[in-house]
Amino acid sequence: MINLELPKKLETLQKMTHQVASNVFRPISRKYDRIEHSETSPEELVPVAQMIQGARASGGGGGDQGQAEGSVNGANLAGVVGMEEMCWGDVGLMLSIPGQGLGNAAIQAVGTPEQKERFGKLYCAMAITEPGAGSDSAAVKTTAERDGDDWVLNGEKIYCTAGQRCDAVVIWATLDRSLGKAAIKSFIVPRDNPGMKLARVEDKMGLRISDTAALSLENCRIPAENLLGSPEIAETEEARKKAFGGVMQTFDNTRPQVAAMALGLARAALEMTREILEKEGVSADFSKSLYNSSALEAELYRMEADLDAARLMTWQACWMADNKQPNSKQASMCKAKAGRVGNAITLKCVELCGELGYSEEHLLEKFARDSKIIDIFEGTQQIQQLIVARQHLGLSSRELK
């Protein structure tokens, strides 16, 4: 059973990442909110990237830690603890740290030792979404055809986080459109590879410093060894489900990470709101019951409760992953809960603080703008609820759409 308290090793990590968020991210948050389409990551983030790489090389930052009954708190739980703290500082800046792309997570999840060695230290984005394939990952139309010792990719990708600044992109493409999700594979494409071009960088409501790109692939040729996983298409329906499940395995690790983004952002907004309201004489210190409190105090209590519930769900999903337990349902549950709660809390904080919440005097309005996309990317609220329903009812994607 999951322990509801963090082990001391992760408390140390929590404090360290909070210092980075407080001393590096938060002071430059507004500055970089006003800057878009920078071709390189902010220079202030270079030492942060070096620090993270050094910690990983030395085995720090949440290695396996034995506990009672053989349970383990490892990389997944450590990742969400650090993620929440960094996103307390600024989500967009966290996403702009060199070497921290979603493609890196995919390579670590399903890559061969040779691929991890070759690409693991690069800044790798991941491109799934297409003009006609959003939350339905199985609807990918970008094609990959084998030509001798190469793969040739053709198609268009949109909303690719870090697609402008990255060193490489993990591209989702299909080997045979008629076979649907069974034929979808992932390919590692260097960013400067001939045939892959940057079509545009999007203007956005939030996370403005984090680049979001559209990419076009026209006869983009890559070596055969850049394929993640097997090149074979499963012959039976059961084997095809298992194969696509392997492709989707990345999300079981990354959806809790996205949930942690929402947790950090919501906590930042809630703490700032408490500080603003305390100056006006409103102090929600839990000394009174919910029904004996003022309307403002009751709102703060409810938000605290929702935030704690989302955090515990996120920790559970990560604990299960670290202990080799299937966590697909829990990963979707925590992402759905945290994404919804994060957006609701930041908007409510703007409302409760009135003019101070809406103006740029504080960061509350920025937190509200940044929060919405967290409820959308890596699978929308509706998609997560659909996944949970399928898992709970024991139905397939064909049976419950």
Which residue numbers are catalytic?
378
- Give how far the C-alpha of residue 301 lies from the chain's centroid of Cα atoms, to the nearest Å: 27
Dump the DSSP string for 150-203.
EEEEEEEEEEEETTTT-SEEEEEEES-GGGGGGGEEEEEEETT-TTEEEEEE--
What's the CA gap between 377 and 397, in Å, rounded? 20
Query: Distance between CA atoms of 69 and 240, rounded to whole angstroms?
Result: 36
Q: Return phi, psi of residue 311, to 5°.
A: -65, -45
Of 231, 226, 201, 223, give the one whose Cα is nearest residue 214: 201
Q: Which helix (H) or strand (E) holds 146?
A: strand 143-147
CA distance 137 to 134: 7
Q: List residues bridging with 197 in a β-sheet.
A: 216
Question: In whole angstroms, what is the distance from residue 17 CA to residue 21 CA?
Answer: 6
